[in-house]
Amino acid sequence: MNDLTGESTLSVVDDAVVLAVDDGSVVIRGVIDSLGELGRGYRVHRLPCDSAFGERGPSGVEPTAVMSERSYRVSMARLTTLDWPVKVLLVCDGTDPTPLRTYGTGLVRGYLTGSFDTSLLFAAVQTVSTGGLFFPAEFGPYLSGGSQRVEPPGNSVLTEREAVVLRHVAAGLTHKQIATRLALAKSTVDTYVHRIRHKLQVGNKAELTRAAAHFGLVPPDW
Residue 9: per-residue pLDDT:
37
Instruction: Please indicate whether the domains covering 2-142 and 153-214 agree at the CATH topology level.
Output: no
Amino acid at 87: K
DSSP summary character for residue 139: G
CB 48 within 8 A of CB 5: yes
Q: Would you kindly state where each structural domain of the chain is located, as residue ranges?
A: 2-142, 153-214
pLDDT at 222 over 50: no
Instruction: Determine the Cα angle at 109 with ends 129 and 174, to 5°.
Output: 30
More confident residue, 8 or 156: 156
Closest CA to 216 of 161, 152, 159, 155: 152
d(CA 56, CA 83): 8
Q: Is 138 helix (H, G, I), strand (E, B) or coil?
A: helix
Where are any strands of DSSP class E within the chain? 2-3, 16-22, 42-48, 64-68, 87-92, 108-113
Kindly give, in sequence order, each residue whose CB lies less than 8 Å from that of residue 22, ignoring residues fewer than 6 positions away: 28, 29, 32, 46, 47, 48, 49
Beta-bridged to residue 42, according to DSSP, are 16
DSSP summary character for residue 158: B
CB 202 within 8 A of CB 151: no
d(CA 53, CA 119): 28
pLDDT at 3 over 60: no
pLDDT grade, residue 147 (50/70/90)?
Answer: very low
Q: What is the CATH number of domain 153-214?
A: 1.10.10.10
d(CA 88, CA 125): 10
CATH superfamily label, 2-142: Response regulator (3.40.50.2300)
pLDDT grade, residue 51 (50/70/90)?
Answer: low
Residue 97: per-residue pLDDT:
64
d(CA 24, CA 4): 15
pLDDT grade, residue 54 (50/70/90)?
Answer: low
pLDDT grade, residue 45 (50/70/90)?
Answer: confident
